[in-house]
Structure 1
Amino acid sequence: MQIEYFLGYIGALFIGLILGLIGGGGSILTVPILVYLIGINPVTATAYSLFVVGTSAFVGTLKNIQKKLVDFKIATVFVIPAFVAVYLTRKYLIPAIPNQFYKLNSIIITKDIAIMMLFAILMLMASLAMIKTKTGVVKSKQQINYIVFFFQAAFIGVLTGLVGAGGGFLIIPTLMFFARISIKKAVATSLLIIAINSLIGFIGDVQNIAVDWIFLLTFTIISVIGIFIGIYLSKFINNRLLKKGFGWFVLVMGIFIITKELMSI
């Protein structure tokens, strides 16, 4: 086994471990691990990430369904515009983006650099959300504004399709503030939405890229094993402190990616 793949599989275990420990966040590392450790190009890496994230979120959803934490009505309303946006983004928008994304004199920004820069920006947003670690309280039972909810869902779907991350740090606040559900239900419902969005987005990619199924399934299985290890270890670790610590780690990773991509321009 090549050293790159060995390190990649260790990364897959770490992704699952973080997901199992704090219920989210680990998927934000999938693309950097695939790109920088294994050497897969960003477009293929975001596609693979959708499969890994979707499968991992599905495993978490099964657990939450048993606990009766998933709000299926809200999930249905959210997921329809979101998964349509994800599918169309992966099927048509990503292939339509030119390889030379931007050029000004001697400065050339390629499609791969643009995707990784966008991903890094979302990493910074996710890290700040985890570092702040608000508990979140639903203060009212106001009627849902379905028009705003629809466009929020579609926007998150486009971002999910572009960068291959689950987008839980965007979905959870949307569910809390627009659907008026508790933090626990928002986290559980977001996993179902992430699973559907990611797996349908991946379907849009199957038609555009050659998939190395042996590698992808191996990577995903190792990640799922990590989830179960993380769920077990979470009984012994302070979840709030862990989430904040991981937030700082993601912040450093985001800054590293931005710096590396800027140096390659």
Structure 2
Amino acid sequence: MSAFVLALVAGALTGLALGALGGGGSVLAVPALIYLLGLTPAAAATASLVVVTVTSATALIGHAREGTVRWKHGLLFALAGLGPAAVGGAVSAWLPAGVLTGAFAVIAAVAALRMLRPSASAPTEAPARPVRVATAGAGLGAVTGVMGVGGGFLAVPALVNVVGLRMRAAVGTSLLVITLNSLVALAARAGADVSIDWARVAPFAAAAVLAAWDGKRLAARISAGSLQRIFAGALLAVAAFMLADAVL
């Protein structure tokens, strides 16, 4: 299978995850860019931020039109993570490839286990105090910068369990958080000496943007719990593969 076709397929899966779950796109994008398209971990992390930024911003528009974005809490959550995201993005350039791959695998596994917990929804929206929201946002920003991930796979559980949003609102709001965090992390990497093969990344990003709309429609037809369980299973498989690759 050609690199172009692989880029389209992987990009479509990334977009579906972002559109349906409000996160998880970069968890799929990074390993796909490394193992399917042959990018280095550093280049894959940077390219992933480009793909996730464009795709999440596109998906955010659709969720905003349906009123599922909680702008006040999302902005506070995101702004608290901007500084840590910038610092993390600068630090990541100095970390060995094996460390990045292994750390990513561990975080992906933790995220999958959290998604399998029976906490997909909250009975009422009772937003937490600003300090708790900001603390959770800062932690997510640091992960975004170092790992080159948008953080949606961690943002959604945090917005549900810490901020107190319902699942649908958490999905929409997480796209706002992902977009802002990814932009800052990408800007922090601008000076890094990383070469990106745009002939492969561009079709990947285009497929992701188009598939994000399909993911949004899919989410309306399938229960959030079912989507989370399916995605969590795939995420555990990816984590196991990447951890084995980092260790062996």
C-alpha contact 1:138 1:177 (8 A) present in aligned 2: no
2: CA distance between counterparts of 1:174 and 1:243? Answer: 15
What amino acid does structure 1 have at the position aligned with 2:177? I
Pair 1:190–1:127, CA change in 2 (3 A)? same
2:154 to 170, 173, 186: 170
Aligned CA distance change for structure 1 residues 166 and 139 (closer, same or farther; 3 Å): same
SS in 2 for 1:206: coil
Match of 1:191 in 2: 175
For normalisation by structure 1, the TM-score amounts to 0.83
Structure 2 counterpart of 1:159, from 122, 133, 143: 143
Contact map agreement 1:69 1:185 (CA 8 A) in 2: yes
How many Å apart are 1:236 and its aligned residue? 5.1
Shift of 1:238: 5.1
Q: In the alignment, residue 112 of structure 1 is paired with which amino acid?
A: A
Q: Residues 46 and 162 of structure 1 are in contact (CA less than 8 Å); yes or no, is this contact kept in structure 2?
A: no
Contact residue 12 and residue 30 of structure 1 kept, 8 A: yes
Which of the numbers 168, 185, 202 marks the counterpart of 1:201? 185
Name structure 2 gaps, 5 residues minimum: none
The answer to whether structure 1 residue 246 and structure 2 residue 236 are counterparts is: no
- Give the distance between the partners of 2:27 and 2:49, measured in 1 at CA: 11
Q: Give, in whole Å, the separation in 1 of the partners of 2:127 and 2:7.
A: 46
CA deviation after TM superposition for structure 1 residue 86, in Å = 1.2
Q: Is the 8 A contact 1:47 1:205 kept in 2?
A: yes
Question: Superposition pairs for residues 1-265 of structure 1, below 5 Å?
Answer: 3-90=2-89, 92-97=90-95, 111-137=96-122, 141=126, 144-146=129-131, 148-208=132-192, 209-234=194-219, 237=222, 239-263=224-248
**Alpha-carbon shift at residue 173 of structure 1 (Å):** 3.0
Query: Shift of the alpha carbon at 1:135?
Result: 2.7
Secondary structure of residue in 1 paired with 2:69: coil
Read off the aligned partner of 2:59 and give its amino acid letter: G
- Which stretch of structure 1 is more off in the superposition, 54-63 or 200-209? 200-209
Distance, in Å, in 1 between the alignment partners of 2:236 and 2:118 is 14
Q: CA deviation at 1:232?
A: 4.2
Task: Could you tell me which runs of 5 or more consecutive residues in structure 1 were left unpaired when the two chains were aligned.
Answer: 98-110
Using the alignment, how far apart are the partners of 2:215 and 2:136 within structure 1?
31
* Corresponding residue for residue 107 of structure 1: none
Aligned-pair distance for 1:41?
0.8
Report the CA distance shift for 1:136/1:197 in structure 2 as closer, same or farther (over 3 A): same
* 8 Å Cα contact 1:53/1:166 also seen in 2: yes
- 8 Å contact from structure 2 (residues 85, 181) kept in 1: yes
SS at match of 1:200: helix
CA 140–70 in structure 1, closer or farther in 2 if over 3 Å, else same: closer
Distance 1:256 1:17, change over 3 A: same
> Following TM superposition, by how much is the alpha carbon of 1:82 offset from its aligned partner in structure 2, in angstroms?
0.8
Matched residues in 2 for 1:142 and 1:36: separation? 40
**Kept after mapping to 1: 8 A contact 2:17/2:24:** yes
Q: Residues 113 and 223 of structure 1: is their aligned pair in 2 closer, same or farther, counting only changes over 3 Å? A: same
Q: If you compute each CA radius of gyration, which structure gives the higher value, 1 or 2?
A: 1
What whole-Å deviation, never above 9, does each CA across 1:197-222 have from its counterpart, x for those lacking one?
A: 11221122222133444433322111
Secondary structure of 1:162 counterpart: helix
Shift of 1:141: 4.0
8 A contact 1:145–1:178 mirrored in 2:
no
- Give the Å deviation of 1:124: 0.7
Moved more, 29-38 or 155-164: 155-164
RMSD: 2.4
SS in 2 for 1:6: helix
Could you tell me which amino acid in structure 2 is paired with residue 6 of structure 1? V
